[in-house]
Amino acid sequence: MKYFFQFEQRNTNYRTETMAGITTFLSIAYILVVNPMILSQAGMDRGAVFTATAISAIIGSLLIGLLANFPIGIAPSMGLNSFFTFSVCIGMGIKWEIALTGVFVAGILFMILSLLKIREKIINIIPSDLKYAIAAGIGFFVAFIGFKNAGIIVQSDATFVSIGDLTSPGTVLALFGFTLAVILMVRNVSGGIFYSMVITTIVGILAGQIDKPEAIIGEVPSLAPTFGVVFTHIGDIFSLEILAVIFTFLFVALFDTAGALIAIASQAGLMKNNEIPNAGRALLADATAAVAGGVMGTSTTACVVESSAGISVGGRTGFTSVVIAGCFAVALFFSPILSVVTPEVTAPALIIVGALMASEISKISWSNFTVIISSFITIIMMPLTYSIATGIALAFILYPLGMTASGKWKEVHPIIYVLGLIFIGYFIFL
């Protein structure tokens, strides 16, 4: 196994990889609670969605670990599950069965694009400066999520966002966890983020801020209410409205995953000559998980940016992803205990990881104005629009525009021009 996962080449070991896998799982375990809660508002069975969420994460994480040797977790996308419920089902009045069929069809298209290496080609032709900007932007985005989950940043009618009540119990707990994590990281304690999450959870329970789980082991909910419904609704997708929905699933998931892969590969030191090794296999794993998720009953999956938490602990190989998959498998039977992993517990890890990822900003060529403006817009728009895909799309519009205006249009790959036009059309019409 050491040879298969290239432990020596990547300077890692079983203990580090295992701790990294557990850390990433704890950072994304909330998806097992939140995803069923969101999709149930579209009319889906909450228990079935819980099981579908876990199994799709198991399949995706296991495949990306074994096929691509990447330390990345795959799970249903938080942005796309909200789009599925509030925009498609509630906003457009589309039945969840038909929307789920759209997820399935988008997943099939993902697989085709992955097998043809089109998705891999798109990732590898992105200029290095934009890749650094994407990684840094995701760092700011992840940190923003952490501040929001901690209650440090809250919504404001006057200024959109504002500082929250730093004396509220949940925020105090998050600040305690953040302080503890910083101290452990500064003192170079291996697995400092993981230990801080465990200690914060214990302190939260003792302080009465986190409820004790009512049970340890729970029954695995049945998939019957959602499993296979996509096959009976294939004929319902052939309308302009549904095709637009499918394209949106395809567009957002493609560039969410592309952004996550770029950021995480850069953070882990896996990027070689501005290319990501085994990117095609990683994308195929992601596409397969999306198809499986659609069949079982959950919205589109994607590589999760919270994987950076595990990488900060030292995860460098696919063994980390195998551990993530194992944790999701165990979670199927221990669902009641997941209630102790609250947003306040995971928020400090996201803030610190965001800071580490944002350091990629130093590698950008700040002497080139075209690079400056496209990188800046990419970075700032990710947290402001709460979308990785939107930040990348704007970069693909601004970069070729600037290069053309400066007379350097030949240095831009033709595919980037094509994508730029597609994104302009996307913002205008969709």
Span 268-299, pLDDT tens digits:
888 887 788 888 899 999 999 999 999 999 99
Count up the domains in the chain and report the number: 1
**DSSP state at residue 365:** -
Average pLDDT over residues 57-63: 97
pLDDT at 430: 66
Within-domain flag for 4: no
d(Cα 208, Cα 170) in Å, to the nearest integer? 11
State how far the Cα of 76 lies from the Cα of 49, in Å rounded to an integer: 11
In a domain, 83, yes or no: yes
In this structure, is the dihedral angle defined by the CA atoms of residues 320, 322, 327 and 331, taken in order, positive or negative?
positive
Sorted by sequence, the CB contacts under 8 Å of residue 157 that are 6+ apart come out as: none
Sequence-distant (6+) residues with CB within 8 A of 256 are 77, 79, 80, 302, 303, 388, 389
What is the pairing mode between strands 153-156 and 74-76? Answer: unpaired
Query: How far is the C-alpha of 291 from the C-alpha of 296, rounded, in Å?
Result: 9
Task: Check: CB of residue 181 under 8 Å from CB of residue 344.
Answer: no
7 domain residue, yes or no: no
* Residue 9 within a domain: no
How large is the average pLDDT for residues 385-411? Answer: 90
All residues at 6 or more sequence positions from 326 whose CB lies less than 8 Å from its CB, including other chains: 21
pLDDT band at 239 (very low <50, low <70, confident <90, very high): confident
Question: Does residue 1 form part of some domain?
Answer: no
**Pair 144, 355: CB distance under 8 Å:** no
pLDDT reading at 252 higher than 90: no
Question: pLDDT digit string (tens) for 321-371?
Answer: 999 999 999 999 887 777 787 889 888 888 987 888 888 899 899 999 999
- Please state the φ and ψ torsions of residue 214, each to the nearest 5 degrees: -70, -25
Distance CA 161, CA 74 (A): 30
State percent of the chain over pLDDT 70: 99
Among residues 38, 44, 30, which one has the least CA distance to residue 87? 38
Instruction: Please tell me the distance from the alpha carbon of residue 26 to that of residue 45, in angstroms, as a whole number.
Output: 24
Q: Report if residue 44 sits inside a domain.
A: yes
Do you know the residue count of the chain? Answer: 430
Is residue 81 in some structural domain? yes
Percentage of the chain exceeding pLDDT 90: 55
Confirm whether 2 is domain-assigned.
no
State the residue range of the domain holding 268.
14-429
Per-residue model confidence as pLDDT tens digits over 140-178: 988 898 899 899 999 999 999 999 999 999 999 999 999
